[in-house]
Structure 1
């Protein structure tokens, strides 16, 4: 009776003849409600609108029910155990590479330290071999007005003996002709290794841009490879790239080779990042998915701490890369123990392989998967598995998602790098500033776990992004003479954006379907790298007002687009574009005024919904049936009579 009352309330055009019992018996008779003679055309239009609105609600309920029933992987993964031995090993496999990723990503900060150069004047040792280094510099280098030696000039060599040089001195100067020495530097960096001084200086922004360009290219390349060849293959290729380019950086012979290897290692880094996130999200369920991804992100600041400690202790930049690169070879065993994603295997039609991987995980967790659940796994249709990067444009809902992800990623990348570059203006100790920043980022990423579970993904990320970009806007427009206040705002801004980065991977992975998950993550990182490159360009050109205006505009656009994104907390992952279109509340949360109607529909069974849709379709489209339609209707009625009541 309660169901009939709800149906009468929600659907006034459905008579009791469409009740559950009668619907099961195939009774589809309906009678139109009597209209008083005084009913106007406006009332008729309102009734038609009500019918259309109610039918749309019922269709959405039916689609949501079918989507829940089709999410077989959630049931299978639940039977494996939410976070058993297998899942724990899987998460552990992603932690060490994340540590190394931070090591290689930020190594340039320490290997490009600028020592004070002096011209190499060893020619004077031919006439005075017993001269000390201080005496040699005093006789052969000119001094500035403040008494310090000039760094890029030397006295012209002469053929006098040492006594004449000491007595009369040297007067004519020239540029350095025999290279440079670095007597005040106790460390060997890329600068004094390749003599990048006195007109040969390397623009530090060029190095950052090279790495970010590698991230940009790698995000596209590895995103495409992963969706086509699998997470397992892509991760192994990323590790191979780290071995070749990370360890190989220690053996480069010139600056161009160094930049090439740094470009290659940045591609490998982003490849592992997006694939490890996809693999963890497709194996884990519920809150464990976010916990694992954010925990992996927490190893980035730990990697920065390790890098800072080693850079402070190791006196040579080549030795630094040797130590970090040697750790990569410990990842060779991934070939034997790294699992493939069962969701990806299913979407590629490899059903038996997916079952084998799931059974292996069950044995690791000492669990049993019911055969009834494994029997439900079957290869999806070609339409479900067919996907390409063009679907981000052709699919209307997916286009909105990737547009919002791209805009938000661009804003965060621009703000994060602007704050990082502003740190150079404060002349802080390099090792202290990096260690403090890393120590602040660690609790920021850990704290995001609590925020995402208490307040959901979407609005938590929106508020964090707003706070971080607001700090960036203040830093760009605040008086620079208040150094302590600006430094505090920089740290607060980086604290917020670090928490945002940790949640960005989780939220993006949950938004995207399996067939395009890594491609979408790659496009998000591409937008992030684009914002970072633009930030470097604007700051380098001293275009602070333009950077400030861009920060404000992109923040407004990002928050506006975030409104269109759905909340993914507690929702199952989407595998195909077909299911993606059926995702409940796909594009916005503009259904608050319909909550009562949705609750009323909760008691409507799938069978009643199907019969009701047929009734409404027949009433709303009263047209003569052709022979094909008549045969289909007779076949349907005959089948329903044969089946009888259930």
Structure 2
């Protein structure tokens, strides 16, 4: 410390003109190396601040146990997407006609076309009316053919669907002729399930643990997913869809919490990204199966059979040791960690296990009210809610816009799902290069660009002809579909970064509850999108997408970076998070700083393989050199001394 103080005094005595001359070399090529060293220095402090980082390092950062844990999240993610989007394929449009089989009593040999011609009224253009029929009369067939029928009424004996190639909910429960609104009811019930499930499973995951919450959600997928294939009424179908939606959101919250707390560093990011990729695979699987199956019940039957093996998770799924410690269950936490180490063929040093002791307060207590009391926690929740609201609203708006263009339901799901996989994988590069905060900003910026382009493209098939009469309609339609698909591409990447970032920002004691509260904003965005599109011109929803995305982009700058930072365990730890910008990687670094770092790095090591202690010394000197060449303020010195004291504390 004495040598460092002398070095500071030397810095104070430097001439300002010398610093200005050196400032010209600010673009030194070693700046990239400095950033890498800073990142390694943060990783060192992460292990010092987070006792679980050392334990997980001893267990094996990404050994067989962690690989198996990540793999276990894939299958439920596939089935979650399967059941989540199933509604889009079971309401296949069908053209109905009134059931007029009464005429077969007097003309049993009539063909289907002759039957419709005699018993169904026709529109002026010659097409048959779908919701009207001629009332039966006590005549013989010759009289009916000769004089015709005149009295019409609504369908008396149900409907027939002569052109139907598949059995769907439309012709199963006759959702036609004024009953079409029941299709919207199914969507509302699914949204209500997401809303209630976000609250319930967020609380369950934090109160009871990640393990029981995942088991409950998987049990819901098995019961409600498989049971939907056997419903005998539309109201019962709505009830089962309500249960499925709760299970889907419950698994999303609990599985992300578990993966976040078992993995460290970039392994955590990769696991969540891969889980989302398999969610996209589930959407593709659903599209392919729905296209080939002739009956909607078979779709849920196949999905239910695929989800039944998830019962085995009762015996192979682990609990989160971080959550166990927060609840004061030290013995259980040690047992889980020792089991993980044995699977990885590692041995945890006894001194590390002895560090796992109960905190001063035996159990860390927290409640939903803490999201209002804790300032930083409240800020994180509000900002992330705004982002999730924007993403949900924009996604539904783009999807509905594509439907207005007459795109088939299979194309609307298959092509975006295929593109979502590379979109999510691109997040690996973004997160490694620019961190969580700016990755979220970049993906939101992409969404803004695509939404702005949509403002200048025609809306709907009629808009293609009216707004751009001289341009080929096919080319304009293809261009609009391409922009919509790229917009969904950006939103897929945003969702992946969002979940990872939010899970790292929230403390362990309220991580799942926070994810549940933020998910409420998603439902609100979806409901607003459906409401606005059905009641307002199509240009306004896209304009709101741009406005909301710009607001979310601006608010994301208020959040701190979480890469290479220890996870927050309690509310006290969360309140200490600073929302100031990270000046260590500031692009305004002066030339003298970079040149000094070059000299220091050359003296410290002559190879690329640098020890953690050497990296720490290099960055320590670099931080000193980063100080202003003019007399250093007392506050800066105090902050530096404080950081050094904390880093050297046992």
Q: Structure 1 length normalisation: TM-score?
A: 0.81
Provide the secondary structure at the position in 1 that maps to 2:445: helix
- The equivalences for 1:481-500 within 5 A come to 481=464, 482-500=476-494
Q: Shift of residue 143 of structure 1? A: 1.8
Is residue 372 of structure 2 the alignment partner of residue 393 of structure 1?
A: yes
Aligned residue pairs total 559
Provide closer, same or farther for how the CA distance between residues 185 and 64 of structure 1 changes in structure 2, counting only shifts above 3 A.
Answer: closer
Distance change >3 Å, CA 378–CA 88, structure 1 → 2: same
Say whether the 8 Å CA contact 1:67–1:579 is kept in structure 2.
Answer: no
The alpha carbon displacement at 1:6 in A equals 4.2
The answer for the alignment partner of 2:180 in structure 1 is: 201
Q: Summarize deviations over 1:322-368 as a string: whole Å, max 9, x none.
A: 11112221111111110000000011110110000000000101011
Q: 1:68 to 1:365 in 2, by over 3 A?
A: closer
Distance 1:579 1:600, change over 3 A: farther
Give the one of 563, 573, 579 matched to 1:579. 573
Aligned to 2:291: 312
Q: CA deviation at 1:616?
A: 8.6
Aligned to 2:120: 141
Distance 1:423 1:182, change over 3 A: same
Deviates most, 378-387 or 489-498: 378-387
Matched, 1:4 2:5: yes
Q: 418, 425, 433: which one pairs with 2:404? A: 425
Determine which of 313, 321, 325 is the counterpart of 1:342: 321
Q: Which residue of 2 aligns with 1:21?
A: none
Alpha-carbon distance in structure 2 between the residues aligned to 1:358 and 1:371: 12
**Would you say the 8 A contact 2:46–2:565 is kept in 1?**
no
**Greater shift in the superposed pair: 182-191 or 195-204:** 195-204
Structural mapping, 1:413-562, within 5 Å: 413-476=392-455, 478-480=457-459, 481=464, 482-562=476-556
| 1:382 match: secondary structure | coil
The CA deviation string for residues 475-497 of structure 1, in whole angstroms up to 9 with x for no partner, is: 35532313222111101100110
Residue 329, structure 1, aligned to residue 308, structure 2: yes
The 8 Å contact of residues 224 and 240 in structure 2, kept in 1 or not, is answered as yes
When residues 10 and 230 of structure 1 are mapped into structure 2, their CA distance, relative to the original with a 3 A threshold, is farther
Change in CA separation of 1:112 and 1:228 when aligned onto 2, cut-off 3 Å: same
CA distance in 2, matches of 1:444, 1:65: 31
- Post-superposition shift, 1:545? 5.0
Task: Give the SS at the match of 2:561.
Answer: coil
Contact kept? 1:6, 1:600, Cα under 8 Å: no
- CA deviation vs aligned residue, 1:179-235 (integer Å, no higher than 9, x gap): 000010021111111111111212544433322221121111111111111000111
How many angstroms apart in 2 are the aligned matches of 1:442 and 1:566? 27
Matches within 5 A, 1:111-510: 111-202=90-181, 204-382=183-361, 385-476=364-455, 478-480=457-459, 481=464, 482-510=476-504
Q: 1:95 to 1:67 in 2, by over 3 A?
A: closer
Q: Is contact 1:349-1:379 (8 Å) kept?
A: yes
Q: Which residue of 2 aligns with 1:641?
A: none
Query: Hey, what's the Cα distance between the residues in 2 that align with 1:384 and 1:554?
Result: 40
Output the CA distance in 2 between the equivalents of 1:275 and 1:77. 20
Measured in 2, the distance between the counterparts of 1:455 and 1:66 equals 19
Where 2:127 maps in the other structure, the secondary structure is coil
In terms of Rg, which structure is larger?
1
Q: Is the 8 A contact 1:457 1:568 kept in 2?
A: yes
Answer yes or no: is the 8 Å Cα contact 1:248–1:261 preserved in 2: yes
Q: Distance in 2 between matches of 1:8 and 1:333?
A: 65
SS at match of 1:174: strand
What runs of 5+ residues in structure 1 fail to find an aligned partner? 13-62, 605-611, 618-645
1: CA distance, partners of 2:176 / 2:428 = 46
* Aligned counterparts of 1:587 and 1:397: Cα–Cα separation in 2: 12
Does the 8 Å contact 1:205/1:540 carry over to 2? no
Q: After superposition, what is the alpha-carbon deviation per residue over 1:300-343, rounded to whole angstroms, capped at 9, x for unaligned?
A: 12111111111111111112111111222111111111000000
Structure 1 residue 569, shift from structure 2 partner:
1.6
Counterpart-to-counterpart distance in 2, 1:336 and 1:111: 35
| 2:571 is the alignment partner of 1:570 | no
Cα RMSD for the two superposed structures: 2.8
User: 1:543 deviation in Å?
Assistant: 4.5
The partner residue of 1:108 within 65, 71, 87 is: 87
Task: Kindly state the Cα deviation for residue 2 of structure 1 after the two structures are TM-superposed.
Answer: 2.9
Residue 118 of structure 1 and its aligned partner are, at CA, apart by 0.3
> Bigger shift: 133-142 or 202-211?
202-211
For structure 2, which runs of at least 5 residues remain unmatched after alignment? 14-41, 465-475, 594-618, 626-633, 640-649
Q: Distance in 1 between matches of 2:359 and 2:179?
A: 60
Structure 1 residues 358-388: Cα deviation after superposition (integer angstroms, max 9, x where no partner): 0000010101111111111111232982222
Instruction: Report Cα offsets for 1:19-75 as digits up to 9, x if no partner.
Output: xxxxxxxxxxxxxxxxxxxxxxxxxxxxxxxxxxxxxxxxxxxx9999753411001
The alpha-carbon distance between structure 1 residues 376 and 540, as it changes in their structure 2 partners (threshold 3 A), is: same
Instruction: Return the offset for 1:602.
Output: 6.2
Partner of 2:645: none
Taking the TM superposition and a 5 Å limit, the aligned residue runs for 1:613-632 are: none
Q: Any idea what SS the aligned residue of 1:572 has?
A: coil
Do the aligned residues in 1 keep the contact of 2:327 with 2:363 (CA within 8 Å)?
no
State the distance in 1 between where 2:554 and 2:407 align.
37
- Judged with a 3 Å threshold, the aligned counterparts in structure 2 of structure 1 residues 616 and 253 are, in CA distance, closer, same or farther, namely closer
Q: Is the 8 A contact 1:346 1:379 kept in 2?
A: yes
Deviation track 1:374-425 (CA, whole Å, cap 9, x = no partner) reads 1111112329822222222111111211111111111111111100111111
SS of 2:133's equivalent? strand
8 A contact 2:198–2:246 mirrored in 1? yes
The residue aligned with 1:60 is none
